[in-house]
Amino acid sequence: MSEHHDHGHAHEGSATMAERVRGLVERLEKKGLVTDAQIEQTIHAFLAHAGPSNGAALVARAWVDPAFKARLLEDANAALDELGIDMSHWARVTLRAAENTERVHNVIVCTLCSCYPIALLGPSPAWYKSAAYRARVVRDPRSVLAEFGVTLDPGIEIRVWDSTAELRYVVIPRRPAGTEALSEAELAALVTRDALIGTARV
């Protein structure tokens, strides 16, 4: 199992992330640089284009285009640009794709908060943000995955990728057998948010 914990989350220190964000917004509003309505409008506009369909499209393209998959694994941010998925809200954030294979299964977590590629997966589920998932999937990922219905052979290596404020992950699940005749859009329809996290198979 691979673990990645030595990183600086944005909320380290005396103030929580929510408190820091609230303070920043208040200062911007006092200076007349932004209004609460503008912030809400920006959030709604972002969420309107953020969802697991983006991640599913990424996976489907990787399944049908080996050259694209190679670029995705090399530089996921650039691959998203090719698909026209907007990453502009992710200033300084690097995306990495982790590919599931016959011998390796990947799962993502954020042990200290809930850093998460919203543009690709949509708003994070409650269980992803829970203390139980964040702690247990690192210590005993095989058992946690089994609780999600993903039972893996003992010989399969499980790699747990710990997201940070600067680095996010997306899982590229294995393409199901017997899908050779499906179109790219039909393949994308098979991919779920949980498969992009690594807690489900396609």
Catalytic residues: 110, 113-115
Q: How far lies 173's CA from each of 19, 38, 63, 90, 126, in Å?
A: 36, 37, 9, 23, 22
- Contact of 49 with 121, CB cutoff 8 Å: no
Report the greatest alpha carbon distance in the chain.
59
Q: How far lies 4's CA from each of 95, 147, 164, 191, in Å?
A: 15, 23, 9, 26
Quickly list DSSP for 178-194: T-TT--HHHHHTT--HH
Q: Cα separation of 90 and 50, whole Å? A: 12
Query: Inter-axis angle of helices 76-83 and 66-74, to 10 degrees?
Result: 130
Q: Cα separation of 53 and 47, whole Å? A: 12
Q: Which of these, 112, 184, 193, lies nearest to 148 by C-alpha position?
A: 193
